[in-house]
Amino acid sequence: MINDARLRWIGWALAAWTAVVVVRLVQVQVLDHRQWESASARQREGTIEIEEPRGDIVTRDGRLLAGSLERVAVYANPHQIPRKVWPEVASGLAGLVGEPAAAVQAELAAHDGFFYVAKDLDPRVADAVARLHQRGVGTLPTERRVYPNGALAGPTVGFLDSEGRGQAGLEAFYDRTLRGVPSVYHVLRDGKRSPTPLDLRLETPGRPGQSLVISIDCRIQQVVEQELAATVAKTGARGASAVVMDPATGELLALGSVPSYDPGEIGQSAPSARHNRAVEDALEPGSTFKPFIVAAAVTSGVLNPFEMVDCSGGGVQIANAFIRDHARYGLLPVREVLAKSSNAGAIRIAYRVEPDRLDEMIRSFGFGRPTGVGLPAETRGIYHGPRFWSALSRAGLALGQEISVTSLQLAQGYAAIANGGVLVHPRLVLDTRDRDGRSVAPAQPLPGTRVVPAALANQIATMLEAVVEEGTGKTAAVPGYIVAGKTGTAQRASRGSYTAGRHVAWFAGFFPMPDPKVVMVVCVDEPVSDYWAADVAAPAFGKIAARIVTLLGLVPEGGGRA
């Protein structure tokens, strides 16, 4: 028989347990109601993101380089489809997704919940799927990226990965702008946490991607790529690049990189072709760098543009090295030092300039830093200041050695000579527009920086006319127009030394003088059949220029001099 004490102890224990349960119920159902409700919702609800249409990439003359086609994806949720109707569902979907019914049924059996049966389908499939009237089967909008002009400007446009993310070129650099903001849909889940027939409800509206209008002129781009490809084929070169720029605005009319690739067939391209040589390849500029040495000497007050320079001796002795010239020239005016590309003359001019002043001039022309054009993987080039110079460094710089530049950097530097002494910033994107074609972010050009007086820039430009008229750049001439420019033949540097038989041929210039509208740089990397710039890069420049003047409607100047 239970005594009174034990009964009281049991009573108190039951009362305490009841109190604990009541308190816990109050906590769960009243105090923590929102927290548990949220946790429950997370278990039976979820979200999915649906990408909005990606923006286009369009040239200044209205050619579509990258766009998107509307497509649909077919999904299925086996948990919402009775197993006994799987054969019927598979048969109904098979013809729509282009797969055998047996394969579709196998997919239903292999998945526990929501999955895509097929993607990249014609939008008309959506109506056919809806007519199946099958719970757990439906369609969602998708898109396919297309490149209507194939490999044209491919390295500049770039490409996407399998997830639709930009991997190179403008597609990568402006990925967030082009991609926009995905729409978020609310999805109810069943007890097994699988989506129900897809009870989709828009939770957060997305925003379609914005389109880019770029400065490239499709006609000029095509000319550049054709002539570069012909040059590479003729010379057996490793590759080539070219930049065509408006010297007044910095707008890039063409960026050529050969070999190129089709962004829509990226898997069929060689890895070596998947970069933009115009902004990613840093190479020694050779004698195309000599005008900047002259600019440094004149602005430093150690050289008169009209004086005679000693180019005698067939070369010049610097420290323990004798650097050869192309010939024994004797005394030459500065104009002819450039026209004949005299190494002795350029070196003697360079050693008149104090190292800090020479360094300041080189940097003011934009060398040693990226241009900020808006392309991924753009290199800053290779340039080290006076702290790292040896006794031979100024001689090396006078010959375009101990510095590596991109085609775009060299074009930027020559544009400052062509436009009267102002360094302009290269521009590739002119405008950003919404889905309706309205401008939402027109590009604001950065102000230019004066690097040399206008009079000096004009004097150097006139000197460069002599290079084409009577010097090493004769093959760059365009009948009826005055062209100014400079050849450069450089040995290919590798691991701190030069490799025999490997060269880079350059021609940098502008036209038509005296009021140039176009700056152009051509670079041919490792030509085999011939490597002198006068025979390789200058002719390519001339052929491109002859076609460009017609496309741009440039009127011949100077009574037909070339």
CA distance readout (Å), 260 to 152, 231, 356, 561: 8, 14, 40, 35
CA-CA distance, 379 to 281, in Å (whole number)?
Answer: 7
Instruction: State how far the Cα of 537 lies from the Cα of 12, in Å rounded to an integer.
Output: 101
Q: What is the DSSP string of 409-473?
A: HHHHHHHHHHTTSEEPPPB-EEEEE-TTS-BS----PPPPEE-S-HHHHHHHHHHHHHHHHHSTT
Q: Assess contact for 545 and 512: CB atoms under 8 A.
A: no
Cβ-based neighbours of 314, under 8 Å, separated by 6 or more: 324, 325, 327, 328, 344
* Closest C-alpha among 231, 54, 59, 222 to residue 143: 54
Quote the tokens at residue 479: 């009948």
CB distance 51 to 164 below 8 Å: yes
Backbone angles phi, psi at 47, to 5 degrees: -135, 155
Alpha-carbon Rg of the chain, whole angstroms?
A: 34
Check residue 475 and report its DSSP letter.
G
Closest CA to 547 of 511, 514, 506: 511
| Per annotation, catalytic residue among 68, 183, 260, 287 | 287
Encoding tokens for residue 423? 């360094």
Query: Which distant-in-sequence residues (6+ apart) come within 8 Å of 120 by Cβ?
Result: 71, 73, 142, 144
* Torsion sign, CA atoms 164, 165, 167, 171: positive
Q: Look up 287 and say whether it is catalytic.
A: yes
Position 451, amino acid: V
Burial string for 365-402 (b: 16+ CB within 10 Å, else e) reads bbbbebbebbbbebeebebeeeeebeebbbbbbbbbbb
Tokens of 463: 């000197």
Q: How many CB atoms are closer than 10 A to CB 272?
A: 10
Cβ atoms of 323 and 399 within 8 Å: the answer is: yes
* E-assigned strand segments in 88-236: 115-121, 137-146, 183-189, 195-204, 211-214
List active site positions.
287
